[in-house]
Chains A and B, each alone.
Chain A
Amino acid sequence: MQETASTPRIVEIRQNILKKNDLLAARLRKRFHQAGVYVVNLVSSPGAGKTTFLTEVLSRLAERYKVAALVGDLATDHDAERLRQSGARVKQITTGTVCHLEAEMIERSLEDWDLSDIDFLFIENVGNLVCPAGYDLGENRRVVLFSVTEGEDKPMKYPTIVNSADESIITKMDMAELAGFQRDRFYDSIYKVRPGISVYEVSARTGEGIGEWISRLEAEKRAFQQRAGTL
């Protein structure tokens, strides 16, 4: 077949490939702001203790606030079941073969929830440190969790997610000694990919660090609402 005689022309586009997700996320963020919902997106590898940490946080917050959680999972309802024990409103998002949550899934899951009746919304992303990085979910804060058993160099293996996060949490601190966790090496690793990122050390089992983390979250919610004028 002959090449056609048409003149090739280059048209500049300059659009983010995930433009649609970004637009949806911006719309969600606006709704959250207006309703006064503070949203936290939790990302980690499977087994980093995200669900255990979140269950503890939800239980404590539920005493004083209206809390809710959306849990992204490939198939089972296991994590959502555990989270429900905290007394929070919990909904599972089954992603099937999709390895991350997208803004559209969040929007759909919120259809029958009254946002004005929620103070804190936690989104537990699918256990994966690669794919969720590019997908804005309209959250206020993105938190990346690492456990002491995952190896101190792990942040360096996932520079993209660490760079997209607002803070990091080290989980299972009660096992640090047993796991031979070297604190300095971990901090060295995470600061290499993200100098100055805030890091919190917690243990859901002993309760270490959880109270402090929650106090800070409450302070942030207040500050955010003062700025937004919804307090």
Chain B
Amino acid sequence: MHELSIAYSLAEIAVEAAEEAGLKQVKALYVKLGVLSGVAKEALLFSFDVAIQGTPLEGARLIVEEVPVKVFCPDCQEARILPAPFPMRCPVCGGKTGQVLEGREMELSALEGGDSNAGDGIYPADCGNSSEYPEEK
């Protein structure tokens, strides 16, 4: 399951991006997942909760937008959205195409934050998870 590696990468770039944007607190991460990204949404949601433990993102929500496959049809000269990842055929004229325009993305599209909170730094004030995940020594 590579979703855990992906969740760690996501947490890493999100922490950096939050710092750059001057967000003291991250409430939510918006992620675009193409249906051809090879990432299973459920597995990513689960892994995300694991990956953000003990990071400044702890308590943040992950909001996943699934992006369908969009191809360019050379016959219609139009971009077309496919109802399913395959067959790679234009849903209008039936022409074959391998030109994928969208649907492969694995992107952190936005962060939702607040400039300040109750003074707990970047941690959400209502984070009650700390006792459920005692530190292993």
- What residues of chain A have their CB less than 8 Å away from a CB belonging to chain B? 1-2, 4, 6-21, 98-100, 102, 130-131, 133-134, 156, 159-161, 163-164, 191-197
Contact = CB atoms under 8 A, between A and B. Distances in A.
Question: Which 8 pairs show the lowest CB-CB distances between chains A and B?
Answer: A6-B114, A160-B38, A131-B2, A195-B96, A192-B87, A133-B38, A4-B117, A11-B21
Given A99-B2, A163-B104, A195-B98, A9 B112 contact: yes
Nearest to B10: A17
B76 interface: no
A19 B100 CA distance: 20
Contacts of B23: 9, 11
Most chain B beta-carbon contacts within 10 A, residue among A2, A7, A19 = A19
A8 B112 contact: yes
A21 B10 CA distance: 12
Contacts of B92: none
B107 interface: yes
A17 B100 contact: no
B38 A161 contact: yes
Contacts of A163: 36, 100, 104
A99 B1 CA distance: 7
A146 B37 CA distance: 20
Nearest to B6: A17
A191 B126 CA distance: 51
A15 B31 CA distance: 10
B86 A15 contact: no
A160 B105 CA distance: 11
Contacts of B2: 98-100, 130-131, 134
Contacts of A14: 107-110
Interface string B14-42: 10010001010101001100001111000
B55 interface: no
Nearest to A20: B9
24 contacts: A1-B126, A4-B25, A7-B114, A7-B115, A8-B27, A9-B114, A11-B110, A11-B111, A11-B112, A13-B109, A16-B108, A17-B107, A18-B106, A20-B12, A130-B38, A131-B2, A131-B5, A134-B6, A134-B37, A160-B38, A164-B104, A192-B86, A192-B88, A194-B88
Contact of B110 (A13, A19, A133, A195): A13
Interface in B64-118: 85-89, 96-98, 100, 104-118
Given A18-B6, A160-B36, 12 more contacts: A1-B118, A1-B126, A4-B117, A4-B125, A9-B115, A11-B23, A14-B108, A16-B108, A17-B9, A17-B13, A17-B108, A131-B5
Nearest to A102: B5
Contacts of B110: 10-14
Contacts of B87: 192-193
B101 to A, nearest CB: 12
Given A1-B125, A133-B38, A159 B86 contact: yes
Contacts of A193: 85-88
Contacts of A13: 13-14, 17, 21, 108-111
A191 B111 CA distance: 38
A12 B32 CA distance: 12
